Structure 1
Amino acid sequence: MSKNTLSPTFNFITAGKQVLSIEREGLAQLDQYINADFQHACEVLFHCTGKVVVMGMGKSGHIGRKLAATFASTGTPAFFVHPGEASHGDLGMVSSQDVVIALSNSGESNEILALVPGLKRLRIPLICLTRNADSSMGKIAEIHLCVYVPEEACPLGLAPTASTTAALVMGDALAVALLQARGITATDFALAHPGGMLGRKLLLRVSDIMHSGDEIPLTSRTASLREALIEITRKNLGMTVICSSNNVIDGIFTDGDLRRVFDMNIDLNQAYIAEVMTPGGVRVSPETLAVEALNLMQLCNITSLLVEKNDRLLGVIHMHDMLRAGII
């Protein structure tokens, strides 16, 4: 039968569930290897004054790249070095202050073993993740972390599947344990992710996205209601701030206030803005996190906030600014 011809008796769902079952069993076995060796590895990594250098060939290399990224983003500086490239000069990227984590399911990776004399000469601690403590890498490592699994999910027993999952999970366990030991906070995490949603939520402040200067819809308390409406239309924020001298805030007038004015049968040409404004207005400081300002808007059921310091107007922030900044 052609490899591109689907057998009528084959069931993709059954095959998929079998993979999950095998990999779950592999992870269940992994629990016993979170032991004194794991504790020792965490202590060495915690006290590392340089960087964590992760190495691996083939599929182990792909897992190693992910682990290096996980370490780096969770408070443990790390990078990946390809063992083959390391043999041709990239080993110079590794210093005596670093710690090396090497991944190899068999523990017999020639490319990694070739680097050991250089690592030993620099007295760099070597942590190896393999399935066999009696492998060449298991024997030469200062710390060996076993990632043995009973079988691969591949029915041929050839494609790394359950074994790479086990290595990934063991690496994640190291990274997260170190994160907890260092007391890394969400804000610390955000500093390594300034372009992501979390970074924007935890780092972006009102002063970064507020309207200021000539962008602020501004009206004096002696202005007519008609003049205020012109200012609202001109600045296109659906509101205007009413200030006395030196930009001291007196109040705010919004589209919602205008609808209430219509219900009061007030003459738009004769009324003054001070008669119909909402005194005070909801305010935040420029240092307020943008996400906190958003929460305040939602709590008060409003779309604009005044940004002030010592009652003096510094800017205005609108719900649309939150959308543009990716906070919502």
Structure 2
Amino acid sequence: MIVNFFKLKNFNFQKVGKEVLQIEREGLDQLDQYINENFTDTCELIYQCRGKVVIMGMGKSGHIAKKIASTFSSTGTPSFFLHPAEASHGDLGMIGNNDVILAISNSGESLEILALIPLLRYRQIPLIAITGHEKSTIACFAKIHLCVKVPQEACSLGLAPTSSTTATLVMGDALAVALLKSRGFTQEDFALSHPGGALGRKLLMRVDDIMCSGDDLPCIHPNAYLREAVLEMTSKKMGIIVICDHKKNIEGVFTNSDLRKVFNDNIDIHRSHIANVMTPRGISVRPGTLAIEALNTMKKHNITSIIISDQNQLIGLVHIHDIYQAGII
């Protein structure tokens, strides 16, 4: 193919890009009128659904359907995408009698979806249609129709789905968020479906999951000499040692910064007891505390390790590196 570089050099890509944005903005401005009683009916039907929301569409509408299904599923509305053509060849068995169908077709005349309607009506499975034409065949057969008609496509040929797919995607987001709020869906609920991401770890991971405990804990009795405490602290490599009585009740802490002060003050580590140079109590959080909250506490007090305690009894220790390595931030 011969490329006319002179013509390309004089072509205004930015101008066309901005025209596309303007056309799609105008399309979205029109969408407000379709957040009506049909929208309410759709939300109520999905809210009351005892099964899943099965979303289908062909071509570009299929890609939008997949994204909407993903958004629904991650915000408290169990959903999955079903390819209409595959549904006619066995995958229709994936649909349960308690499910709701959400069919997307800009024209409202997708043959692959139309072929399924008799079977859906026979099984009495509710059909919600999202189309750009209120009098289309799919819209007429649907229990509820959501219109997403746009003035024009952003494609200069008026052929490639652009404004229409954007409007459909936004309508799907509006449904998902309306349902999310109506269910009282929380950040913790969201995290349960996103355990692999940083957000999920931030909302789910607790200090109990990453703390060191048992024999790995750097701790020592208050009557121990400073030399013993230093050896214990350096061997555990956490930059801190917790001073506890024989019942693990916390009396204080000793850190690297305290050690530097000891050397500066020429204190004899062989004759001084750790209780004489420790910092009383120390900063602690309870078991079950979110790791991100423990991190915020560490930053607030400018410390690198935090004690996990229950009624002043030592349970564990978390170093700031443990939180970073857990991938929470």
TM-score between the two structures when normalised by the length of structure 2: 0.97
Residue 120 (structure 1) shift: 0.5
Q: Are the aligned partners of 1:95 and 1:122 in contact in 2 as well (CA < 8 Å)?
A: no
Q: Report deviation, 1:260.
A: 2.1
Residue pair 2:134, 2:145 contacting (<8 A) in 1 also: yes
- Residue in structure 2 matched with residue 158 of structure 1 by the alignment: 159
Q: Deviations over 1:164-199 (max 9, x none)?
A: 000000011001000011111111111111111221
Which amino acid in structure 2 is aligned with residue 72 of structure 1?
S
Read off the aligned partner of 2:168 and give its amino acid letter: A
Partner of 1:280: 281
Distance 1:231 1:223 in 2: 11
Confirm or deny: 8 A CA contact 2:155 2:162 kept in the other structure: yes
Give 1:1-328 correspondences, 5 Å limit: 2=2, 5=5, 7-328=8-329
Aligned residues: 328
The DSSP-based 3-state class of the residue aligned with 1:156 is: coil
Question: 2-side partners of 1:43 and 1:279: how far apart?
Answer: 58
Distance 2:288 2:39 in 1: 42
Q: Note the alpha carbon deviations across 1:192-237, whole angstroms, 9 max, x for none.
A: 1111122111111110000111211122212111111111211110
Cα shift at 1:8? 2.6
Rounded to whole Å, the distance in 2 between the matches of 1:158 and 1:257 is: 72
Deviations 1:55-91 (A, max 9, x none): 0001100000000010010001101100011001111
Structure 2 spans left out of the alignment, 5+ residues = none
- Kindly state the Cα deviation for residue 268 of structure 1 after the two structures are TM-superposed: 2.3
Distance (whole Å) between structure 2 residues aligned to residue 3 and residue 171 of structure 1: 41
CA distance in 1, matches of 2:117, 2:177: 27
Alpha-carbon distance between aligned partners in 1 of 2:281 and 2:304, rounded to the nearest angstrom: 16
Give the conservation status (yes or no) of the 8 Å contact 1:133–1:146.
yes
Offset of 1:4 from its aligned partner?
6.8
Q: TM-score, normalised by structure 1?
A: 0.97
- Checking the alignment, whether the CA contact within 8 Å between 1:250 and 1:280 is kept in structure 2 is yes
- What percent of counterpart residues are identical? 60
Change (3 A) 1:141 1:326: same
Contact 1:304 1:317 in 2 (8 A): yes
Q: What is the distance in 1 between the residues matched to 2:199 and 2:305? A: 23
Equivalent residues of 2:199, 2:328 under 8 A apart:
no
Match of 2:247, SS state, is helix
Q: What secondary structure, in the 3-state scheme, does the structure 2 residue paired with 1:247 have?
A: coil
Q: Which amino acid aligns with 1:202?
A: L
Distance 2:8 2:234 in 1: 68
Whole-Å Cα distance in 2 between the matches of residues 224 and 16 of structure 1? 73
What code does the residue aligned with 1:114 have? A
After superposition, the C-alpha distances for 1:249-284 in whole angstroms (9 at most, x for unaligned) are 111100111122233221222221111011111111
Indicate if the aligned counterparts of 1:127 and 1:141 stay in contact, CA closer than 8 A: yes
Deviation at 1:3, TM superposition (A): 5.2
Moved over 3 A (4+): 1-6
Q: Matches of 2:118 and 2:3 in 1, distance apart?
A: 46
Distance across 1 between alignment mates of 2:251 and 2:104 = 66
CA RMSD of aligned residues (A): 1.3
